[in-house]
């Protein structure tokens, strides 16, 4: 087993769509058999009763939970990649891994999804193969690609993608190599890089700031708890909530902390109700944060259906009604819809919608597989693009879906 395979094993075993809007024009009309397969849903009645954790609810449905159109095909099978919405409405899909015999191999290829034609077209390759990296749209329209596992180990390099030329070029390198970290665009247009696994396979405590004006990375404050396979959510006040993750040695965290953008310091906040990594977190329209799924130290055998909300006014987490299906490895597979609900489309083949008003999860349609480490991207027309992911046999997919 080479070093990359060992690192990717760490990503896969220790680390690391969908507006319900009026139907935009689909790429193609489903065949009768496909139309017949669409889920027919019922009605959920709103409730004023406070949800009790001891209460058991039947899986609810709503009248129109959206539809999955027949799958499209990317040019490359990939999982644990990135998918970034560009200013012109197209989507940059970059990196990830493919399977070669018994090994997982990082890839450098990238492609562009065009929502006008529902097609995928190759664009320039990254300068390095990467998986477990981050991709951040900068205010100037370029995309910052940072770190990840390369051909043999964690990398400190970073690149910029220019949509005008379709090419990647190197920018400054990180202070410290890392993979499985988070990257958050701050309100001052700088990018916070936090957590991740270091070159020594230990959690990286040092946080860094990328300044697009100077094209440099500088060290910021240090996390109070080293973590990877965590989440980082930009709050409305400009600070960043980091929660959960893995601190190494198969230790999964319940701790959470706040990065203060004005001081560069991290302070502890309330704890999750359970240890959690490989989960997803979404900022809701009311400014609170929804946390869903993930797993404990048992990983595949410890997947969660649980969900909770972080309330910004109290700095505490409150458990809410469960998901209908257990799921993990979905950090990039949940998106806020234009109507304030949340589409969940990864870590399990069953799509679900979080009804923000009633704080319950609604059954949607089904994908043809569970697709771990897939990516959901909310398009400008309100549709959601679901790309890639891998199955229980660690086989990445080239399929992509549009969820109306």
Residues found in the chain: 404
Pick the more confident residue, 371 or 103: 371
Question: Could you state, in order of their start, the residue ranges of all structural domains in the chain?
Answer: 3-40+56-403
| pLDDT above 60 for 291 | yes
Ranges of beta strands (E only) in 131-254 are: 134-137, 143-146, 158-162, 167-170, 182-185, 191-194, 206-211, 216-222, 231-234, 240-243
pLDDT at 27 (0 to 100): 38
What is the mean predicted confidence (pLDDT) over 192-200?
A: 95
Assess whether pLDDT exceeds 80 at residue 368: yes
pLDDT digits (tens, 9 = 90+) for 373-404: 999 999 999 999 999 999 999 999 999 999 99
Residues in a beta bridge with 78 = 397
Mean pLDDT taken over the chain: 87
Tens digits of residue pLDDT in 230-246:
999 999 999 999 999 99
% of the chain residues with pLDDT over 70 = 84
pLDDT digits (tens, 9 = 90+) for 229-286: 999 999 999 999 999 999 998 999 999 999 999 999 999 999 999 999 999 999 999 9
The stretch 213-237 carries a mean pLDDT of 97
Confidence of residue 102 (pLDDT cuts 50, 70, 90): confident
pLDDT at 100: 87
* pLDDT over 90 at 302, yes or no: yes
- Identify whether the C-beta of residue 344 lies closer than 8 Å to the C-beta of residue 334: yes
Q: Which of 94, 108, 179, 196 is nearest to 136 (CA)?
A: 94
Is CATH 2.120.10.80 the classification given to domain 3-40+56-403? yes
Q: Which residues of 209-244 are buried (b: 16+ CB within 10 A; e: fewer)?
A: bbebeeeebeebbebbbbbbbbbbbbbeeebbbbbb
pTM of the model: 0.84
Torsion on CA atoms 252, 258, 263, 264, rounded to nearest 10: 30
pLDDT at 74 over 60: yes
User: Which runs of E-coded beta strand occur in 47-109?
Assistant: 72-78, 82-85, 91-94, 97-100, 103-106
Of 44, 138, 76, 46, which is closest to residue 387 (Cα–Cα)? 76
Q: Give the distance from CA 390 to its chain's centroid.
A: 14
pLDDT above 90 covers what percent of the chain?
Answer: 81
Return the higher-pLDDT residue of 30 and 100: 100
Give the Cα separation of 123 and 388 in Å (integer).
17
Q: What is the pLDDT of residues 158-183, one digit of tens each?
A: 999 999 999 999 999 999 999 999 99
What mean pLDDT is predicted for residues 119-123?
Answer: 98
Give the residue with greater pLDDT, 8 vs 221. Answer: 221
**Dihedral Cα 110, 113, 118, 121, nearest 10 deg:** -40
């Amino acid at each position: 087993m080479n070093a990359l395979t060992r690192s990717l094993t760490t990503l896969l075993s220790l680390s690391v769509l969908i507006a319900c809007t009026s139907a935009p024009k689909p790429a193609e009309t489903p065949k009768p058999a496909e139309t017949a397969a669409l889920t027919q849903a019922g009605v959920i009645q709103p409730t004023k009763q406070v949800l009790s954790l001891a209460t058991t609810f039947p899986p609810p449905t709503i009248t129109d939970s959206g539809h999955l159109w027949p799958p499209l095909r990317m040019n490359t099978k990939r999982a644990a990649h990135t998918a970034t919405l560009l200013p012109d409405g197209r989507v940059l899909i970059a990196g990830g891994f493919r399977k070669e015999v018994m090994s997982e191999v990082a890839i450098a290829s990238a492609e562009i999804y065009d929502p006008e034609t529902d097609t995928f077209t190759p664009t320039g390759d990254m300068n390095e193969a990467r998986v477990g990296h981050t991709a951040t749209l900068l205010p100037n329209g370029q995309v910052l690609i940072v770190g990840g596992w390369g051909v043999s180990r964690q990398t400190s390099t970073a690149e910029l993608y220019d949509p005008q030329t379709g090419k990647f070029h190197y920018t400054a390198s990180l202070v410290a190599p890392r993979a499985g970290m988070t990257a958050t665009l701050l309100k001052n247009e700088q990018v916070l890089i936090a957590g991740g696994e270091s070159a020594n396979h230990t959690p990286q405590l040092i946080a860094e700031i990328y300044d697009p004006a100077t094209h440099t990375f500088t060290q910021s404050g240090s996390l109070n708890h080293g973590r990877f396979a965590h989440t980082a959510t930009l709050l409305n006040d400009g600070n960043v909530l980091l929660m959960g993750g893995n601190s190494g040695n198969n230790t999964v965290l319940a701790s959470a902390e706040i990065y203060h953008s004005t001081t560069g310091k991290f302070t502890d906040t309330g704890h999750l109700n359970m240890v959690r990594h490989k989960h997803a977190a979404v900022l809701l329209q009311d400014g609170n944060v929804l946390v869903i799924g993930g797993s404990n130290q048992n990983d595949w055998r410890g997947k969660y259906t649980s969900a909770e909300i972080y309330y910004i006014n109290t700095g505490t987490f409150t458990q809410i009604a469960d998901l209908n299906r257990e799921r993990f490895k979905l950090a990039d597979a949940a998106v806020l819809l234009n109507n304030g609900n949340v589409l969940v489309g990864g870590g399990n083949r069953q799509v679900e919608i979080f009804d923000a008003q009633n704080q319950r999860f609604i059954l949607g349609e089904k994908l043809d597989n569970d697709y771990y480490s897939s990516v959901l991207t909310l398009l400008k027309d309100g549709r959601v693009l679901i790309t890639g992911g891998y199955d229980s046999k660690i086989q990445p997919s080239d399929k992509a879906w549009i969820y109306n």
